[in-house]
């Protein structure tokens, strides 16, 4: 007799940690259930290659012989961090003001997690957009890969255009519908 759960259960929680190089991480169940395995393929199906530690996450979970495993990511929300006003270039912008900015489709040119920044190219524009690691974390990402398709909300900073928010391509498409 098979003792594995065949039906899925919706679970809300927080990302304990996720390592894109290893291809997996774990989610802490908000209801104090067992840690839930989050595989990179499941995250990629949602449209992200990484997720920030502490990010809120809603997943469909299945119990397997190896424990609880996420089979679909339903929602990701940024980690609970201080207001956006803490970053000099973002000024006094609050999340509502940033959310009102238009979405600009872009591809990641490069991002260096160690340096804490990178650049993206907005389609149809020649000027690069600066992406800071704190903006990335506040957007629910831990890292970006070259060539990754994203949508940006952009402001004019002291040194040029900079991302105020990063959204995965798939999440931005759902938001525009």
Residues 167 and 99 in one domain: yes
What span, in angstroms and rounded, lies between the C-alpha atoms of 165 and 22? 26
pLDDT digits (tens, 9 = 90+) for 2-24: 445 568 899 999 999 998 889 99
What span, in angstroms and rounded, lies between the C-alpha atoms of 52 and 176? 23
Band of residue 91 on the pLDDT scale cut at 50, 70, 90? low
What span, in angstroms and rounded, lies between the C-alpha atoms of 142 and 133? 8
Instruction: Give the pLDDT of residue 89.
Output: 60
Structure tokens at 68: 């609880």
Band of residue 38 on the pLDDT scale cut at 50, 70, 90? very high
Proportion of the chain in helix, strand, coil states, percent, rounded to 5: 20, 45, 35
Residues 91 and 134 in one domain: yes
Domain assignment present for residue 126? The answer is: yes
Domain assignment present for residue 13? The answer is: yes
Closest by Cα among 114, 109, 106 to 150: 106
Identify the residue with better confidence: 4 or 113: 113
- The CATH number of whichever domain residue 90 belongs to comes to 2.40.50.140
Residues 99 and 152 in one domain: yes
Instruction: Give the pLDDT of residue 68.
Output: 93
Residues 88 and 21 in one domain: no
Residues 38 and 114 in one domain: no
pTM, 2 dp: 0.68
Could you list the residue range(s) of the whole structural domain that residue 129 is in?
84-176
CB 51 within 8 A of CB 57: yes
pLDDT digits (tens, 9 = 90+) for 58-72: 999 999 888 999 999
Instruction: Flag whether pLDDT at 84 surpasses 50.
Output: no
């Amino acid at each position: 007799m098979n003792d594995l759960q065949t039906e899925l259960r919706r679970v809300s929680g927080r990302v304990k940690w996720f390592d894109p190089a290893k291809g997996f991480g774990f989610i802490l169940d908000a209801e104090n259930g067992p840690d839930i395995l989050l595989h990179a393929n499941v995250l990629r199906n949602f449209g992200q290659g990484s997720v920030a530690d502490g990010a809120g996450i809603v997943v469909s979970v299945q119990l397997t012989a190896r424990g609880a495993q996420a089979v679909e990511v339903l929602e990701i929300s940024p980690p609970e961090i201080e207001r956006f006003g803490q970053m000099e270039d973002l000024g006094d912008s609050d999340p509502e003001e940033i959310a009102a900015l238009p979405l600009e489709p872009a591809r990641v040119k490069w991002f260096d997690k160690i340096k804490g920044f990178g650049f993206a190219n907005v389609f149809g524009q020649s000027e690069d957009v600066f992406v800071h690691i704190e903006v990335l974390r506040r957007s629910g990402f831990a890292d970006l890969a070259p060539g990754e398709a994203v949508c940006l909300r952009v402001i004019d900073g002291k040194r040029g255009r900079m991302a105020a928010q990063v959204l995965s391509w798939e999440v931005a498409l759902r938001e525009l519908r």
